[in-house]
Structure 1
Amino acid sequence: MPVSRRLILGASGSLALPGLLRAQGTAPVRIGEINSYTSNPAFTLPYRNAMQMAVEQVNAKGGVLGRQLELITRDDAGRPQDAVRLAGELVNDQKVDVLAGAYLSNVGLALGEYAAQNKKLYVGGEPLTDSMVWEKGNRYTFRLRPSTYMQAAILAEEAAKLPAKRWATVSPNYEFGQSGVKWFKQLLTARRPDVTFVGEQWPALGRVDAGATVQALEAMKPDGIFNVLFGPDLTNFVRQGNTRGLFEKRNVVSLLTGEPEYLDPLGDEAPEGWIVTGYPGEAIEAPAHKAYAADYRRRFNAKPMCGSLVGYALINSIAAGVAKAGSTETEKLVDGFRGARFDTPVGNCEYRAVDHQGTLGVFVGKTALRGNAGVMTDWRYIDGKDLLPGDDFVRGLRPASAN
């Protein structure tokens, strides 16, 4: 599907006339969404598909506050500076009511800063760094997906059960990777004081020298490896690791590797026995998820991916926040989103008032081969509220001005 930098999705898919519609009492609720469609299509295109489906479903039920939703998307190509420029265009020219989206954590942080400076509501879907809602949190920024802290917390719990005492880490050297390693080390050490970390590898995002990275990790002689690589970096790392025997007789704990966007490209090279966070897709038997997955397949003739779940939940969360606010005026929206509850295919969630973090949960399990494909097995779902620290911990990190 060709990627347009100016894709506009309305109630019927037709182009809207912003000036005319906004002059009417039934003007649409306009969502300006910015994402890395050209640089990370494996995640963002299924994500956009599911957003479109959610918009259509909300509008078929009458919209929000008697108004239709309208989704306007832009492509940041993975560059924070482009995301900020596009946010200005969406706010000033397109007059959007809500900003949303981002894939990379550094892009999400840039959009959060824009939201604070311009007093515009921003709802991040995919960025995972904790500083987005903690150290660099602000009144106008909310985040949907389970953060690096939340995912590292369940992985540390599982890693603490393993015999491994000597751990090494490998992670992309940018905001998300740094956050993931920081929390895994802190949380595992708290559970297992006998654990030591014997080394780290920090390849540049998208430019991993997999052979050299594997060789360096092997030289550290760890019992366990914590991996935060994803996308093509993960594929190259796994292939080199398999070739050189890095994973033999070692425990591996890996953030995001169970997501089909990253597991599927490995095919029959997918690792077995890794403890991972991810998304087991249509193996989920919950009635709401089965209905959602069936709708997605009918609509797009494809299986839903992890990105699909995020995009679908994002739109429904925005609809719920607007409905609770009873308005699209920014300050009322912020107050409405705090504590807003919304349904997702995996359960009911909310945006916590204390830090604007969503309580969408985490799937954790193990990788295995089924035929020539990698899958998640022995998985379970942990509600996001059970993975988050208490309010006092958060208040100690979050700026007072963020309230």
Structure 2
Amino acid sequence: MAGISFTRRAGLAAGSAIATAALIGARGSAAQGAPVKVGELNSYARMAAFSVPYRNAIQLAVDGINRAGGVMGGRPLEFVFRDDGSTPGDAVRVAEDLLTREGCAFLAGTFLSNVGLAVSDLANQRKKLFLATEPLTDALTMAQGNRYTWRLRPSTYMQTRMLTEAARGRTTRRWAIVAPNYEYGQSAAANFKRLITASIPGAEIVAEQYPALGRVDAGATVGALAQARPDGIFNVLFGPDLTAFVREGNTRGLFERRFVLSMLTGEPEYLIPLGDETPEGWIVTGYPWEQITDGPHKAYIDAYRARFNDTPRKGSLLGYVTAQVVANLLNKANSLDSEVLVEAFKDLRTDTVVGNVTMRALDQQGTMGTWVGETVLRGRQGAMRNARYADGADYLFPEAEVRAARRG
């Protein structure tokens, strides 16, 4: 592959003023005055592989934005970072602290879906904006959606649909599901059951395994799946659970001659730990950063590598886009009033390093996409091949379904 570029959006090749400032250090008048504080809480300890690069990229973008003049006519932008404890109770306490003691104008972040839902509920109670950047559960913007909660990253429905549509034309009919036993995994499994028959008529689920998050018994899980003799596997495990599952599955031959669809596995956060144990030929969502040739996106990658002496992760990209969207929101609203910010978010279009991202007013879901491709071993490291960028705008929930869910 020569490289991945966004030719469909050639008009964005120059990038936005925010992107240009952050990437090349363009200088207007440096931002001055009282900072605009955004309270960012995330699973920095438990999910460090994703969240630390995410935080790094936010800071990279913010530094560039402030060198170029800041936001809202010249005020510096500041993210106040806190660990959310990876539990709903801890996260709510941290969020309260960010809003009260730290004086943050609004909230952003969270990683785990159950944590994101808890902070969303707090935001609704406090009537404070919350930009959920990473939690993927559909409930966040559907059945439990509220006026003050918006999500940037593609949801479980969107990413599951990307994968099931990639399976169209296959004859794989007997499917097994393995997913972590909490909101995100359950949501992904429910979407898969709903969507797979549209791509493969006659598909059926013959086995389901839901290990506790972070405590997978890989031997028992792999054994149960093998016993069901599926033709295909839909995998939602990530992090250390994924590594343990793949190692045991490779040892027992679980993946031989089986078609696998796997959420998130193509992200560097999870491919790097797999190393030479990466199974080949899985259809995955991920981030093949080393294949990016698009101008603004490539410039961001180069800037990140120079600043942190490391390769970018999917979390890095999400963090960078988060800062771009937040800056654009503040400039449009030109106010820190929650109601003004909410109105400004409706159908807000931001030119980011991945192209246009729109915050759809109907369900408050962003159109940021991700990459879909196949796993492959290159030397002793896993990578993606035949990757394409799937625009989130093409995978949103149908409008009638959103209206019905949010009415309830």
Q: Are residues 1:311 and 2:331 paired? A: no
Equivalence for 1:37: 44
- Supply the distance in 1 between the matched residues of 2:396 and 2:380 (Cα, whole angstroms): 36
Match of 2:391 among 383, 386, 389: 383
User: 1:98: how far off?
Assistant: 1.5
Matched, 1:324 2:337: no
Rounded to whole Å, the distance in 2 between the matches of 1:158 and 1:49 is 32
| 1:357 and 2:365 aligned | yes
Paired residue for 2:15?
Answer: none
1:124 maps onto 2:132 in alignment? yes
Q: Which of 54, 67, 89 is the equivalent residue of 1:47?
A: 54
1:286 to 2:294 alignment: yes
> Which secondary structure state, in structure 2, belongs to the residue aligned with residue 67 of structure 1?
coil
Within 2, Cα distance between the matches of 1:282 and 1:249?
29
Deviation at 1:89, TM superposition (A): 0.6
Offset at residue 192 of structure 1 (A): 2.6
Q: Does the 8 Å contact 1:136/1:399 carry over to 2? A: no
Question: Which residue does 2:13 correspond to in 1?
Answer: none
Pair 1:79-2:87 in alignment: yes
Q: 1:275 aligns with which of 283, 286, 289?
A: 283
What do the CA deviations read for 1:199-235 (whole angstroms, capped 9, x no partner)? 1000000000001000000000100000000000000
Question: Counterparts in 2 of 1:225-304, with a 5 A limit?
Answer: 225-304=233-312
Hey, what's the Cα distance between the residues in 2 that align with 1:301 and 1:292? Answer: 13
Q: CA deviation at 1:67?
A: 1.0
Corresponding residue number in structure 1 for 2:355: 347
Moved over 3 A (4+): none
Q: Which secondary structure state, in structure 2, belongs to the residue aligned with residue 360 of structure 1?
A: coil
CA RMSD for the aligned pairs?
Answer: 1.1
2:402 to 394, 398, 401: 394
CA displacement at 1:95 relative to structure 2: 1.1
Does 2:59 align with 1:62?
no
Q: Give 1:371 shift.
A: 0.2
What is aligned with 1:144? 152
Per-residue deviation at 1:342? Answer: 1.3
DSSP 3-state at the match of 2:162: helix
The reply on whether 1:166 has 2:170 as its aligned counterpart is: no
Which deviates further from its counterpart, 39-48 or 151-160? 151-160
Task: Report sequence identity in percent.
Answer: 57
Partners of 2:37 and 2:79 within 8 A in 1: yes
Alignment of 1:183 onto 2:197:
no
For 2:179 and 2:42, the matched residues in 1 are separated by: 22
Unaligned runs of 5+ in 2: 1-31
| Partner-residue secondary structure (3-state), 1:134 | coil
**How far 1:339 sits from its partner (Å)?**
1.2
Residues 167 and 199 in structure 2, CA contact (< 8 A), matched pair in contact too: no
Within 1, Cα distance between the matches of 2:290 and 2:300?
10
Shift of 1:288: 1.2
Measure the CA separation in 2 of the matches of 1:93 and 1:312: 26
Q: Is the 8 A contact 1:275 1:365 kept in 2?
A: yes
User: Secondary structure at the residue paired with 1:398?
Assistant: helix
Deviation at 1:193, TM superposition (A): 2.8
What is the deviation of 1:160? 2.9
CA contact (8 A) 1:322 1:337 kept: no
Q: CA deviation at 1:77?
A: 2.5
* Residue 13 (structure 1) aligns with: none
Superposed CA offset, 1:126-150 (max 9, x none)? 1001110111000000100011011
Structure 2 contact 58–320 (Cα < 8 Å) conserved: yes
CA distance in 1, matches of 2:51, 2:250: 28
Aligned counterpart, 1:8: none
Between the aligned partners of 1:46 and 1:239, the Cα distance in structure 2 is 25
**Contact in 1 for aligned 2:176/2:208 (Cα 8 Å):** yes
Q: Which residue of 1 aligns with 2:123?
A: 115
**Which residue, 132, 155, 164 being the options, matches 1:156?**
164
> TM-score with structure 2 length normalisation?
0.91
Mapped pair 1:99 → 2:107: yes
Match of 2:24 in 1: none
Check the 8 A contact 1:207/1:233 in 2, yes or no: yes
Give distance in 2, aligned partners of 1:163 and 1:243: 26
Question: Which runs of no fewer than 5 residues in structure 1 stay unpaired?
Answer: 1-24
Q: What are the Cα deviations for residues 28-71 of structure 1, in whole angstroms up to 9, with x where unaligned? A: 11100000001111001100000101110111111111211011
